[in-house]
Structure formats: C-alpha cells, structure tokens
Amino acid sequence: MDRIRLQRHPERTSFDQEDADAILDEAMICHIAFMDGDQPIVIPTAFGRAGDLLYIHGSPLSRMMRIVGSGAPISVSVSLLDGLVLATSAFDHSMNYRSLILFGDGRIVSDPEEKRMALDAIVDHLAPGRREHLRPMTDKEVGATSVVAIPLTEVSVKIRKGPPGRTDDDWPVWTGVIPMAQVAGSPVGDVPVPDHVEELIRARSGPNRSTS
Amino acid sequence: MDRIRLQRHPERTSFDQEDADAILDEAMICHIAFMDGDQPIVIPTAFGRAGDLLYIHGSPLSRMMRIVGSGAPISVSVSLLDGLVLATSAFDHSMNYRSLILFGDGRIVSDPEEKRMALDAIVDHLAPGRREHLRPMTDKEVGATSVVAIPLTEVSVKIRKGPPGRTDDDWPVWTGVIPMAQVAGSPVGDVPVPDHVEELIRARSGPNRSTS
C-alpha cells in the first residue's frame, strides 16, 4: 500500500469510504494513466461503478482499453473542483476540491453477464434513471464494446475545504471562497422533456451543484 | 509526433490553436501523468500558461514536482465536460467534451524572474484580475514553491459536440443533449464583495458556463 501514501498535506488525506463513494457518484469522468512503452499517457473517460469495481468502456481497438485491460499498472484520478480559495497573498491562494486516486490492475470483462451489468452501470452513472426507457442493448452492440474492471481497493481520498488557511496579513483585500460546481443546464431537444430527463437533470445538479 | 496520433474517432481530433487556447483558458485544473518507478501516477493540479509554456507549481518536496521537473516523459490532460448526450440506445449515449492532451518534458524553473512570472500566471489563471490587489509575494514564499515549465508543443485536441450521432431507431424515447458546465456560485466571505471579485466570478462563469 506504499503507493497510496501521500507525501504532502497528510491532513487532507483520508480513506473514508463515504467520501470516496460521494466523489465517485458525483464525478462524471475519470482520468486514467497508463504506460505505452516508456510514455505515460493520461486519458479522460466515462465510468460506472458496481460494488467495489470501477468499470470503463471503449472500443476493443483502442490503445487505452488494450493496455488498461492487460493488467498493467495504472492509476485513476477522479476529481471535483469545489471552490476557489482567495487569500491575502498569492502564496496562500488555493482550491477546494475532493479527489480520489486509485491504483489497480484492470482486467477485460469477458463474462457476458458481467459485461452487460457493467455497461448498465456506466449508463446509470451518465444518465441516472434513463436505462429503463431505452431500447435494450443488442448482442452486436455489446460485442462492439470492450469493458475493463478495476478493483476499488487501493484508493486514497484527498479533500480541501473551508476558508483560506491564512489571512492574518495586514493587507486590505477581500478574502473568502468562490464555490465552483458542475451543473446541468436546460435540455437541448424537443419539448416537453419527459419526467425521467427532468429527474436526471436534477440528479446531475444536486445540492453540491447549486449555482446560488 | 507519433505519440499524439489518436487511434479512435479521428474526426474528433484537431490541432487547432484556438481550440487548445480556449480549453486551457477555461479549465481550472489539469491532470498530469508521470512514472514513479514502474507505476504510472495521475495527479490533478492547478496550472497557468504564459505563451507556449504550461506552468505548474508545488512543494519542492513533492514527488510530482521532483519527477515532472526532472525531464522524465509525462503527459497532461485538460478536459471540459460540455454535455450529456442522450440517444435511443445505451450504446449511442455519449458526452460532449473538449479535451487536450499534451506530451512533453518538464523542467524546473530556476531563473527567479521566470519563476515569479510563472507564479503570476498561475494566480491570474485561478483568479483573473485579482493579483494587483494582493500583497506582493515575498522572496521566502517564492523560495518555498517549486515551479515546472512544460512546453505546449506536442498538443492534440479532441472535441465532441452536438446531438446524438444516431437516433433513427424506432423507439419512443426523448433524445437530446443536457448541457453541463462548471459555474461559480455566490462568494463565501464578508459582504459586500469588491468589484474585482465580482468580475472574477463572472470570468469564471463565462458564456459556456451558464446554467440556463
């Protein structure tokens, strides 16, 4: 577990399962780092979760899926920006955030039942409550998609929240926090929008995403 | 330049400087991938830009700054989520996004003048228009910070926008796009808030960040 030891700001680090779950539920994308030869590559991608597994999907031909599915060492970052922290000096400016880093070894999901379940989890994550309204996936669609599972075991959470850590300088400038949040806007498409879409817009603009 | 060749969805890839600049201006964090021994690590961090250099900062003791500043191969992803794309089938669901991947070799910024300029660029990026109101950085503060420069030369941009690619299925479900944006909320701190803070809230909730 040495690789999840964080060297800076240990007070911002936790292994709290609830924090980790909240970050995974709220974030829409993760960033996966893997090696292609000697070159580290980082790619943003959608994901889903079922139990203690993180699932990603992609084309069976993609470099990411091939390498991440091979069991090679990888890491995954899931990050939420919560605020801009404005202090008296440039040095003390910061960001409020919740982020998670995961180390693990991915495996290609070959069992058809697990694969459908994983794809369902990815859709449920992108668009909560929508799946029951969709045309069921065809075998051809499932076959054209590759899925990789990554165990959510080596996880570390890092959180910064609250006001600037130091504002005791005798300098006349406003200090405080500008909350930042990712929010859903008005749907683009036919009107009226069905209830399940209204609900997923609310779900994707939850309490932490309010603009007010 | 082979390492910036993208294997999937070539129609989503561009090398347009304006797109790259817009992504770098709007995004608040980047994700950096580097190797620690055999382990790829991905870390979210703040950044700034000056000309064709990306600057990051951190503690001189941090693993990230040490490795990224050593000239070891790295990659950087800067990603903006613009929308949830809701299609007829789970398979055709997607996200609208603008993302950039950068490959490069970082170097520690040791010239004091460049270092101050880089730290200014990072503060200007976090909080546009605020720097002139701050207490100037002390030599001690500059000394306690490490800065790494990464050339913005090997950059590739990937963008998906617009409605679902395929909705011609004969299935009765609403299809369209739910715009997503990162927005700034109401400041947390003393009232009234000075003009420069009001302005930076607007700057950080630009046209692409409206919730309506």
| Measured distance CA(B95)–CA(B161) in Å, rounded | 8
pLDDT in the model for residue A209: 44
Name the residue of chain B whose CA is nearest to A125's CA.
Answer: B84
Pair B101, A42: CB distance under 8 Å: yes
**B203 interfacial to chain A (CB closer than 8 Å):** no
pLDDT, residue B211, reads 37
Neighbouring C-alpha atoms within 13 Å toward the C-beta of B153 = 7
Provide the CATH number for the domain formed by A2-82+94-164 in this structure.
Answer: 2.30.110.10
User: What is the second-level CATH architecture of the domain B2-165+176-205?
Assistant: Roll (2.30)
B-chain residues near A183 (CB < 8 A): 180-183, 211
> A23-73, pLDDT tens digit by residue?
999 999 999 999 999 999 999 999 999 999 999 999 999 999 999 999 999
**Which B residues 172-191 touch A at CB under 8 Å?**
173-190
Q: Give the HSE-up count for residue A57: Cα atoms under 13 Å, Cβ half-sphere.
A: 27
The 10s digit of each residue's pLDDT in B131-142 is 999 999 999 999
CA count, 13 A, side-chain hemisphere, B151: 7
On the CB side of B49, CA atoms within 13 Å amount to: 17
pLDDT at residue A122 tops 80: yes
A contact test, residue of B2, B86, B191 with most A CBs within 10 A: B86
Contact (Cβ atoms closer than 8 angstroms) between residue B55 and residue B118: yes
Query: Could you tell me which of B1, B3, B28 has the C-alpha nearest to residue B181?
Result: B28
HEC string for A132-173: HHCECCCHHHHHCCEEEEEECCEEEEEEECCCCCCCCCCCCC
Residue B100, pLDDT above cutoff 50: yes
Nearest-angstrom CA–CA distance, A52 and A153? 7
| Average pLDDT, rounded, for chain A | 91
Q: How far apart are CA A212 and CA A170, in angstroms?
A: 31
Q: Which of A23, A52, A19, A28 is nearest to A154 (CA)?
A: A52
Query: Does A203 contact B at CB distance below 8 Å?
Result: no
CA nearest neighbour of A79 among A100, A102, A52, A56? A100
Segments in B86-138 forming alpha helices (H): 112-126
B117 touches chain A (CB under 8 A): no
Contact (CB<8Å) A42/B103? no
- Residue B161 clears pLDDT 60, i.e. is over it: yes
Going from N- to C-terminal start, the domains of chain A cover 2-82+94-164
